[in-house]
Amino acid sequence: MPDIFDALPGLEVPVEAISKNLGEMWASTAAAGGPAPSTEDAKATQVNFVLHLGFLTSAEDASEQFRIAVEFSKRYPSRIVVLCPQVDDDGGIAMRAKIYGECHLGKSKGDKRCVEFVMLSYPRRARQFLENQVSICLSTDLPLYYWAHRFSASSKLADYNYLLTRARRVLIDSAVAPDDALTYPWPHPNALRDLAFARLLPVRQSLGQFLSRYPMDVLCSGLEAVTLGHAPQWKAEGRVLLNWLRDRIGECGRNQAVYQQEVREGNGLAVEFRYAGGVKRFSWSADLATGNALFDADFGTGPTRLPAAASVLSPDEALSQAMFF
């Protein structure tokens, strides 16, 4: 399997000379007429961001996550450290480093959004030196965000206590994380954010806006079951959406409804409320490939059928949502 470190772009530099080479990189870019941060803008980054590519990350996947981080930085100038643990450990302790930078020009000449990447490849035996090296690469006066991608086991990720305890947000994606990732006893569970939940923001807003038209006792009275149907590829999103509905509809405290999840054909999500006696009904279905959705409801005031849009956030937008909200 190709090494994910080798698959990422950038210039390989000595680990002990990362800062010096970053400065030289921007200087040579500016000399060639390319967009680069000026001396005053060099520290204008807004966040420290550590992207940890776990053992289950392929070379192609690593390149895709790198692209997402670049897109994110177009709105939030960042210093990004990418951790690339070595799958094949030769018993050594040597680290390798790469640097990479981009600046994106906005509507005006002075509107530049710059990102600096430091990629660190390390074997298991160098793990004890990693925290010190990461801290050197980060800006000390900026908040830290930590994104752990495709890690093989929660217990192994728990070894990175420095990042788990220092980070303002710890980001995971339950669609590709171990099954216990959301229930594992992390040092600061309140800092944990799930990208699967974040990318459902437009879906949650659409459902919430429709259901908020009705009093909670109308929604809950006689409710027997809430079913969340999902296509196979949307299993994680189906799970978090069902939990969200349980939290919201369960606020009335009156019903003992069953909440269940089931796989369905297609490329989307569906929600159905079943009521005693069949007097009331509610359903919502969405095809996330076409972006079309349909509400079908009757809460005792007459039937309502309402076409609507349905979408999920792009990966970089979901990243922003999970980090800051």
Name residue, tokens 């990629």: 119
Report whether 53 contacts 84 (CB < 8 A): yes
Q: If phi over 0 gives left and psi between -120 and 50 gives alpha, with beta otherwise, what is residue 33?
A: left
List the strands of the sheet with 169-172, edge to edge: 11-13, 96-105, 112-122, 78-85, 47-53, 144-149, 169-172, 192-194
pTM: 0.93
Neighbours of 273 (CB within 10 A): 23
Q: How far apart are CA 122 and CA 5, in angstroms?
A: 10
pLDDT, one tens digit for every residue, the chain (325 residues): 458 999 999 999 999 999 999 989 988 876 566 666 754 444 457 899 999 999 999 999 999 999 999 999 988 999 999 999 998 766 677 899 999 998 887 666 667 788 999 999 999 888 888 999 999 999 888 999 999 999 999 999 988 999 999 999 999 999 999 999 999 999 999 999 999 999 999 999 999 999 999 999 899 989 999 999 999 999 999 999 999 999 988 766 666 899 999 999 999 999 999 999 988 999 999 999 999 999 999 999 899 999 999 999 999 999 999 999 9
Q: What pLDDT does 124 receive?
A: 86
Separation of CA 117 from chain center? 18
Query: How confident is the model at residue 250, as a pLDDT?
Result: 74
Amino acid at 46: Q
DSSP H stretches of helix in 49-144: 59-73, 127-137
* DSSP three-state, residue 132: helix
Pairing of strands 11-13, 96-105: antiparallel
Check residue 1 and give its pLDDT.
Answer: 40
Can you give the pLDDT at residue 251? 65
Nearest by Cα to 278 from 296, 299, 262? 299
Domains of the chain and CATH, by start: 4-194 (no CATH), 201-309 (3.40.30)
